Amino acid sequence: MFVTVCQLIYLQGDTLCKECFFYAFEEEIHKTIIDAKLFKRGDRIAIGASGGKDSTVLAYTMKLLNERHDYGVELTLLSIDEGITGYRDDSLQTVKRNKDTYKLPLKILSYKELYGWTMDAIVQEIGQKNNCTFCGVFRRQALDRGAIMLHCNKVVTGHNADDIAETVIMNVLRGDIGRLRRCTAITTGTEGALPRCKPFKYTYEKEIVM
C-alpha cells in the first residue's frame, strides 16, 4: 500500500520525502520500460555513457531496476572519446568512477580508433563551420559500432522529456516532417540491427537533477 500511495502522491505533484521520491522516480522508469516492452530477458544492452548527469543517473537506474525487477539483461557502459582537447577529460573520469561505483563493465572508444581521426584533427581540416554536424554524425555511428563490437543488441541513451520537446520544436521550425514523425519514438532504429531505447522519455530533466 505504501508504494501505491507514494506513486499516487508523486503523480499528483505533491511533496515527497527524499526516499519516497527516489523510489517513485525509479518505479516510473520501470513502468515506462514495461509498458513499452523495451527489453527482453537475455538482451545485452550498451548504456551510452557520456559522464553527464543524464547518463550517470541512467546507469544507476538501469543497474538498480535490473536487479530489483529481475529483467535478466546484461549491462555495459559505452563511452565515446571524440578527441577534443580539454572537452571530454573530466567526463571520462566520471564514467570511470561510475564503472567502479555501479560495478559495470566499461568500454571507451575513440574517434581515432574508429575513424583514424580525432575531432581536433577534423576541425583542422574543415575549419569551425559545420564541425558540430560532423561530430554528431560520428558520435551516433560510434555508439552503434561500439555496441556491435561489444556484441550488444540494444543501446539505451539518457534522452529525457525536455530533450525530446526541444527536438520537436527544432524540427517544427525546420519543417522537417520526416524527423518530426520519428523524434518522439521511445525506440528508434527498429528497422536495423541495433535499436536505441529512451527509458527517460517521460522523465523531466529537473527530476534527473534531483
Distance CA 116, CA 109 (A): 12
Same domain, 68 and 142: yes
Measure the CA angle with vertex 94, ends 88 and 99; round to 5°: 125
The C-alpha cell 525487477 sits at 69
Cβ neighbours around 91 below 10 Å, total = 17
**Digit-coded pLDDT (tens) for 165-183:** 999 998 898 888 877 778 8
Q: Domain range for residue 164?
A: 40-209
Same domain, 100 and 165: yes
Mean pLDDT, rounded, for 144-162: 95
Cα(179)–Cα(134) distance, rounded to whole angstroms?
Answer: 18
For residue 49, say whether it is annotated as part of any ligand binding site. Answer: yes
On whether both 57 and 143 belong to a single domain, the answer is yes
Residue 80 annotated as part of some ligand binding site: yes
Residue 48 annotated as lining a ligand binding site: yes
Query: Residue 104: which CATH number?
Result: 3.40.50.620
The per-residue pLDDT for range 72-109, each reduced to its tens digit, is 999 999 999 888 887 777 888 999 999 999 999 999 99
For residues 188 and 159, the answer to whether their CB atoms sit within 8 Å is no
The model's pTM: 0.86
54 known member of a binding site: yes
